[in-house]
Structure 1
């Protein structure tokens, strides 16, 4: 144990807090840190005996479970690279991740077996194993690990060695594999511990999928590093989430605005004891005022933030104390991270000027797997990561997001930032989801189109939407039309897939 990589975490947790509950899952099953560390040792042995060596990618396709973390830490202990696969991907997309990453082994939940049959044949996968107990002819991961005699196969990693390859959402083109090092994942965890006050007595409810970088880098890993307790849910159900808060004395919860809205709208919201809740974090987009109101009425405020896969993912955080004063901001840079704004030529701009957000720090990724040109293009000449997002800093250093560079609408000679319009759309009573895209226009080149989801009892039409926005936005920013849909296409992290909307409405 001569380094600070993830490969040492389990041994150190077993030493420091062996009997502390590490995980709660299923119908109340529990694992201590000693038990989780023992499973990680068994996983390391299992991987090693199947020929997995330092630098070899190991893919995992499955829902939140102890086995996910067992394989992650087991792989880290022998220097293998963990590749979590989004469970929502279609077979061709899974094939791309497996082939592009070069994964030699795939561990997956049994529910995905059928869809994987044609996929595996297209890849270089040598070994496949299902999670769970399996059967006599094909024992599953749990059975294999329970029977294995552990070998001491741990190695010393360098902190700059790859720990994981996590694929971007793929909102445009094929997803790229962001290579996150042991240092990246350690320092993003430290940022969370510092800025979100994670303590060893915390009990954190994990309702978002661990294959997503936010759930892993800013959810599970800081909790484990601190020796707190993680409650794993396979998926999000607002009623079950409320029940878990009351049953397990949840102190920490992370989600996206939709998560919190569904909880506040649930019939059990008012009657559920949430008195243990103290720390709420929210990402993906700004928290609408009505959700702030609902939680503040119960004595709770949000930490909001900004980041992306390439920053492991946290870049900034807004403390609960500043939620109202700095509403609309994503906060200050994390403790060990820096943020600046640059113009199109790369020159650094002053306060209040919109430009591209650039990020530096030990949590910033090392590059895209197998894509040296894309990696080079992602960094400034002096080594700052170019986010592709537009924003500005106020006079106190707080960051405000204007929009994605690729999402900006140019109408006539005016730049329109969809996020600004979307924030106002969310303030309309009855609007549950909002996305604004640019669509072709003969006169102006592009004009905004609003795409909304609304409550069943809401009475909203294009005219009422425009009336609501008229006093808040310049006329050229007003959506020319409004489309109402039952559901917005989203990534696993809850972000709207605007590329899908543009393909449907802007062509």
Structure 2
């Protein structure tokens, strides 16, 4: 078996950590040796297929099927479980998927049935919500147990290991291609920065179809021998229970996950003392949130990181960084990346782990990666004298008020300092006087009482006049994609 591939990394883990728990999901508890055997059986099922899709929530089946596809030498195509049937079919057809592992009923919808005649010729059904009605031409999960596990992977380091489709928050999703060598490199960098070891028990809430759950989750754990504990969807009571019952040590996620945990009335009834590492990241990570994660959730280490589908992990904090640095910056370059700022302060990335390109879209690839190899991220950033990166905002989110450029993330950071504010999202809206003005959507913490006047007075004390939001709207929830990103596009559409 060729070194530098994901299958080789799994076999190495099976040798080094054979008897240690690799994967725990409810009553299913697989050692690394058992995980490798089951992955080889899945590889036998997918043998001969060039591209394999997987559409399932975070379960042990996803790990086995996904690694099985890679072990078979196929390119893995993770599919967002919240996609509509039309969106799923679009991805499957564009990626020319010939085999698909897919859940039946999940969250009340039979995703397999919705595909109808558009499903690929080879389908493996993943059981998530109990017994399913038999489907003609569809293999059930139990069929894998009888397959031969004596399989040698044909994968090579520079083969395309996966095609991850972007979240589509700004339009039609694009498929970012990476190789085995790149996938392992970014996963190893993440594991090294976080100090991940075989003693860690890693609760993976970030969806496996996203690079945060797949590469910084599954692959990082395999490289370090950590135990993977998938959670199907984020439900705060279940998360609290799992942390206590399974002695979770590593719990990465979007900032909103930690905010919900902090606000949960049941939190005080659970022993969370096992937690040691949190890794988060977004345009806005309030300083107050980082402080509360340390003092109230008990994390020894809170790190921030910056990445995107096209680069996965570009910068990351280090455990020795002080709290102030972690709160204000997203770390420094990792995984072989160079970082610099281009026009308008746009963050540019270059290095061996920039994606290979977008699937069947040379124009979009050329637009994203210039002739010198720099990936244009669309994010606005600041670099300090030590090379630490702070993300200011998305270029597309910037608006112009009274002739001044305004970056919503700066306003959101300030709002995070106001007691009672759980989170906010700011957009620019048309204004007859200012051209564009800020509108702040604010979600309050449970039981908090904050008025519009309170918000405006706080902003006036902390922001220049042209940055003050002119409109305030309190909301119960903010629109998000499954990765936890706020969909500002939806908010803009509401305002015409």
CA deviation vs aligned residue, 1:432-483 (integer Å, no higher than 9, x gap) = 2211111112233211111112235332233221111001111111111012
Q: Matches of 2:353 and 2:336 in 1, distance apart?
A: 8
- Residue 190 of structure 1 and its aligned partner are, at CA, apart by 1.4
- Residues 71-220 of structure 1: pairs in structure 2 closer than 5 A: 71-111=65-105, 114-122=110-118, 125-132=120-127, 140-150=139-149, 152=151, 154-157=153-156, 159-220=157-218
Q: Is the 8 A contact 1:45 1:153 kept in 2?
A: no
CA deviation vs aligned residue, 1:133-174 (integer Å, no higher than 9, x gap) = 8677767543111122345352141x2211111111111111
**Which residue pairs with 1:12 in the alignment?**
12
Question: TM-score, normalised to structure 2's length?
Answer: 0.93
**Which residue pairs with 2:449 in the alignment?**
459
RMSD of aligned C-alpha atoms? Answer: 2.0
CA deviation vs aligned residue, 1:13-56 (integer Å, no higher than 9, x gap) = 22222211101112x420011111111111111112xx41xxx2
- Residue 76 of structure 1 and its aligned partner are, at CA, apart by 1.3
Q: Matches of 1:307 and 1:75 in 2, distance apart?
A: 25
Aligned length: 487
- Residue 118 of structure 1 and its aligned partner are, at CA, apart by 4.8
Q: Is the 8 A contact 1:95 1:120 kept in 2?
A: no
**Which residue pairs with 1:362 in the alignment?**
352
1:427 equivalenced with 2:426 (yes/no): no
Q: Is the 8 A contact 1:202 1:250 kept in 2?
A: yes
Secondary structure in 1 matching 2:54:
strand
Q: Matches of 1:500 and 1:136 in 2, distance apart?
A: 39
Gaps of 5+ in 1: 345-354
**Which residue pairs with 2:470 in the alignment?**
480
Q: Is the 8 A contact 1:131 1:140 kept in 2?
A: no
Change (3 A) 1:12 1:319: closer
- Residue 93 of structure 1 and its aligned partner are, at CA, apart by 1.6
Q: Matches of 1:137 and 1:498 in 2, distance apart?
A: 40
Change (3 A) 1:129 1:335: closer
Change (3 A) 1:91 1:78: same
1:317 equivalenced with 2:316 (yes/no): yes
Q: Is the 8 A contact 1:177 1:368 kept in 2?
A: yes
**Which residue pairs with 2:229 in the alignment?**
231
Secondary structure in 1 matching 2:310:
helix
- Residues 405-416 of structure 1: pairs in structure 2 closer than 5 A: 405-416=395-406
Change (3 A) 1:342 1:142: same
- Residue 504 of structure 1 and its aligned partner are, at CA, apart by 1.0
Q: Matches of 2:9 and 2:465 in 1, distance apart?
A: 55
**Which residue pairs with 1:375 in the alignment?**
365
- Residue 306 of structure 1 and its aligned partner are, at CA, apart by 1.0
Secondary structure in 2 matching 1:388:
strand
Q: Matches of 1:130 and 1:258 in 2, distance apart?
A: 32
Q: Matches of 1:499 and 1:177 in 2, distance apart?
A: 20
1:47 equivalenced with 2:46 (yes/no): yes
Deviation larger for 6-15 or 370-379: 6-15
Runs of 4+ in 1 over 6 A off after TM superposition: 135-139
- Residue 216 of structure 1 and its aligned partner are, at CA, apart by 1.2
Question: TM-score, normalised to structure 1's length?
Answer: 0.91
Deviation larger for 476-485 or 3-12: 3-12
Gaps of 5+ in 2: none
Partner residue of 1:70 out of 60, 64, 72: 64
Change (3 A) 1:141 1:163: farther
**Which residue pairs with 1:348 in the alignment?**
none
- Residue 381 of structure 1 and its aligned partner are, at CA, apart by 2.4
- Residue 328 of structure 1 and its aligned partner are, at CA, apart by 2.0
Q: Is the 8 A contact 1:164 1:179 kept in 2?
A: yes
- Residue 77 of structure 1 and its aligned partner are, at CA, apart by 1.8
Secondary structure in 2 matching 1:64:
coil
